[in-house]
Structure 1
Amino acid sequence: MTTESMVAEAAELGAKFAEHSSQFEQDDAFVFDNYKILKDQKIFSGQVPVEFGGRGLSHREMCAFLRRLAKDCPSTALAVAMHQHLVSAARKNHESGNPGQALLEKVAAGELVLVSTGANDWLESNGEATRVDGGYKVNAIKPFGSGSPCGDLAITSCAIDCPEDGPSVLHFPLSLKSEGVEFLDDWKAMGMRATGSQTLRFKDVFVPEEAVGLKRPRGPFHGAFSIIVTVAMPLIMSVYTGVAEAAAEIARERAKKRAGDPVTPFLVGEMENALTTAQLAVDSMVDLCDDLTFAPSEQLASQILARKTICANHVILACEKALEASGGGGFMRGAGIERLLRDAHAGQFHPLPEKRQHQFTGRVAMGLEPVAG
C-alpha cells in the first residue's frame, strides 16, 4: 500500500461515515456502525505484519489514513487512533526483539479492538492491586477508555504497594469481558462526543501473574514511555490536523462569498499560517517516528511532545480563525465549524498537556530526569 492509497480509502469510507457523523455526535452515541465497516476492511489489524495475519500497513500510512478520515468523522478517527497506537507499540516492541508478537496475532485473528487507559494513568497510574494466589486482584477507575463500547482488551496498568520494591506499577492486558469490569457510560463531553471514551471501573478483577508484562517503579520516567509517546502522538495528532484541515476547507469556501470585505483575506491568511504550523509539526512527528525504526530516548520523546503541543495549539487556532473568517454564518451549527472547533480543543488534553510538556522538555534540555522525583 501507499499513503496515497490509504488516503483514498479513508476518503471513500469517510463519505459513508459523514452521512451519520453529526447525528452520532448530537446523541452522544458511539460510532458502532462505523466500527463494523472498519472491521470488515481490516483496519484494526492494519498495522499488524502480513505474516501475523494483518494488512502490513506502515505507521506513516496509518497516520495518513486517520488524518483524512478525521475530515469526515473526527470521533471515529480518534477512537481508532487510540487503538492504533497500542498496535504500533506492540509492533515496535516485536521488531526490537521484545514481546509484542502475541498481541499482534490476537488482534489479527479476531480483528480485536484495543482500549488504552494510559493517558490518564501516565507515570503514576491509579488503583490498587493486591497479591492473591496466582496473580493480583485489581480495583481501579480508568477514565477516557476511547472505543470501549466495542472494545475487547484494555491495555492498562495499576498501582501496587510492594514491600520488597516500594511503590510500583503493573502493566497488563485485561479482557473487557472479565468479571468485575464495569462500563460507566459517562462520556458526555464538549467535543469528540462519539468516541465512547467512557470511564472503566475494575472491581476485584483477577489478573494472572503471567499476564503482567511490565513492573516498574511508580513515578519515575520509564523507557517504555519513550516508545509509547513516539508512536502515539503522530497518530493522535494526525487526527486533529485533519480536523483543522476540514475547518479550513469550510472557511475558504465561505470566505469567497465575502471577498469584497478587506479584512477577510487577513483572517484567512492567519488561518493558513496556523494550519501550516500544525501540519509542519505533525509531519515532523511522523518523520521522527520513521516508520517505527527510531531509537527510543528521552530526548526523542521530548522532541515529539514539544511538537505535540505546537500542533495542538495551532489546530485550535486554525479552527478559531476558520470560524472568524467565515463571519457570523460560521457560528451556526449547520456550517460545521462549530463542531470541529469543539473537537479541536480535545487535543490539548492528550499527554502531555502544555505546561507539563514545558516542564518535561525543559528538564531534558537541562540534563535532568524528565520528571521531578
Structure 2
Amino acid sequence: MTTTTADSRTATDWVARARAVGLTLRPEVAERDRTGELATAAFDLLRESGLSAALVPVEFGGGGATHTELGAALRELGRHDAATAVAFAMHTHLVATQVWRHHSGQDASALFGKVAAGAILVSTGAADWVGSSGRAVRVDGGYRVHARKGPASGCEAGTVLVTSFRWDEAPGGAQALHCAVPLGAPGVRIEQTWNTLGLRASGSHTVVLEDVFVPDAAISLARPADIWPPLLNVVIGAALPLVLAAYLGIADNAVEVATGLVRGRVEPHTVQLAGEMTNAHTTAADLIAAMFTASENLRFAATDAYAARTLSRKTVAADKLVQTVRLAIETVGGVGYSRECPLEMHYRDIHGVHFHPLPRAKQLRFTGRVALGGGPLG
C-alpha cells in the first residue's frame, strides 16, 4: 500500500504490508509452533512485499524506510507470527547496520545491492560477540575457516551468512575477521539443533562451516579479538530497537486477547490485573519508542555511553514485555494456561527477549562500568 504526500513523494505504508504478510501466515502459526518448522515461504512474501529491502536507501534499489517505520512493521508482524518476526528482525538489523555505515560516509553499496536483489541475511553476532568463534587458518588469497555458528535465526531461508571468525595466529595477537559467506558455498551446511521452549519456528539452527574458503576480498573488518570494538556500539543501536519491536508485537496481541476475553467484567481483582497489565505494556512500548527516537534514524553517535543507555532500556523493556504477557494470563485466569489459548504460546515466545544481547547480568556490568567512567569490558 502506498500514499502520495503533499510534496508529491510516494510514501509506503510498511505496517499495512506487514499486516498483509502476517494475516497470510497466521492460520499456520500454531502448527509450526508444534512442529518447529520455519515458514520459509514467509521470506518469499517478505521479498515480494518489499519488506526485506525496505531499509535499503531508494538510490540503491530499496524502499527507503526509516528505522522507526521498519520497527512498526516488525511490531505488526510480531502480532501475527512471532517466530517469523523475530527471525526477520535478524535480517533487518544487519541491513540497519549498513544504513548507519552509509550515513557515516562508508560504502555499503555491495550489500545494499544484494539485499535489493532479494538476499536474506543471517546473523551470527550474538554467538560471536567480542571474541568471535571458530577457527580461521591463513592460506594463499584468504582463509580456510572451521566453525559452528548458532543460533542463526532464519538460516534455512537465508542466502548470506554475516559472521566472523577468530584468527588466533594473526601477527600481533588474535583477530576477529568479519565477513559474509554465501550459505550455498562448499562446506556450509545447516544442522537442525533448534529445540526450545518458545519461538520454535524461528529456524534458529546451527550453521556448520567445514574447511570453507573465505577470500581476502570478503573480509570487511579485521580487529583485535578481545577488545571492545566500536562496531558493536553500532550494532546495538541499529539492532535492539528492531528486535524489541518484534517482541512488542507479541505483547500487543497478548493484551488484545486478554482484554477481549474479560471485557465487561467488573470483579475488582480482574480490573486491577488489567490495570497492571496495561502499565507494563505501556512502559515497554514507551521504552522501545525511546530507543527508536535516540537512534536518530540510524544517524546516532556510536559511543559506549549510547550503547550502555540502549542496553539499559532493552533490559527494562524486556522485563516489562514478559510481565505484560504473564499478567495477560493472570487476568483471564486458567484459560490462559491452556494450549487452546494463544496466550500460552505468547508466554513461551516472549521469554526469548531475555537472550538477545545483552542478558541482564552482563548488561548491568556493561552499563555500570560505563557509568563509572570505565570501558565496556572489565
TM-score by structure 2 length?
Answer: 0.95
Counterpart position of 2:8: none
Counterpart position of 1:346: 352
Question: Per-residue deviation at 1:101?
Answer: 1.4
> Which of the numbers 95, 98, 101 marks the counterpart of 1:90?
98
> Which of the numbers 113, 127, 139 marks the counterpart of 1:120?
127
Matched, 1:10 2:15: no
> Which of the numbers 155, 160, 179 marks the counterpart of 2:162?
155
Counterpart position of 1:300: 306
CA distance in 2 between counterparts of 1:230 and 1:204 reads: 33
Matching of residues 216-255 of structure 1 within 5 Å: 216-255=223-262
Matched, 1:261 2:267: yes
Match of 2:208, SS state, is strand
Question: Per-residue deviation at 1:174?
Answer: 0.4
Matched, 1:42 2:58: no
Between 10-19 and 26-35, the greater mean CA deviation after superposition: 10-19
Counterpart position of 1:368: 374
Matching of residues 282-361 of structure 1 within 5 Å: 282-361=288-367
CA distance in 2 between counterparts of 1:188 and 1:116 reads: 19
Matched, 1:74 2:76: no
Question: Per-residue deviation at 1:4?
Answer: 8.8
CA distance in 1 between counterparts of 2:75 and 2:331 reads: 23
Counterpart position of 1:195: 202
Matched, 1:144 2:151: yes
Deviations 1:240-287, CA, capped at 9 Å, x for gaps: 111111101111112226x14221111111111111111111011111
Counterpart position of 2:193: 186
CA distance in 2 between counterparts of 1:54 and 1:337 reads: 36
CA distance in 2 between counterparts of 1:55 and 1:138 reads: 35
2:299 counterpart letter in structure 1? T
CA distance in 2 between counterparts of 1:242 and 1:290 reads: 22
CA distance in 1 between counterparts of 2:176 and 2:19 reads: 41
1:176 counterpart letter in structure 2? L
Deviations 1:197-220, CA, capped at 9 Å, x for gaps: 101111111100111111111122
> Which of the numbers 11, 14, 29 marks the counterpart of 2:37?
29
Q: How much is the aligned-residue C-alpha RMSD, in angstroms?
A: 1.4
CA distance in 2 between counterparts of 1:6 and 1:326 reads: 32
Deviations 1:141-162, CA, capped at 9 Å, x for gaps: 1111111101110000011113
CA distance in 2 between counterparts of 1:300 and 1:198 reads: 31
Q: Which structure 1 segments of 5+ residues have no match? A: none
CA contact (8 A) 1:278 1:314 kept: yes
Deviations 1:20-69, CA, capped at 9 Å, x for gaps: 11111111001112222111112111111111111111111100000011
CA distance in 1 between counterparts of 2:266 and 2:320 reads: 27
CA distance in 1 between counterparts of 2:217 and 2:18 reads: 38
Deviations 1:307-346, CA, capped at 9 Å, x for gaps: 1101111110110000000111111112100101111000
Match of 1:368, SS state, is coil
CA contact (8 A) 1:241 1:311 kept: no
TM superposition outliers: structure 1 runs of 4+ over 3 Å: 1-4
Identity of aligned residues (%): 38
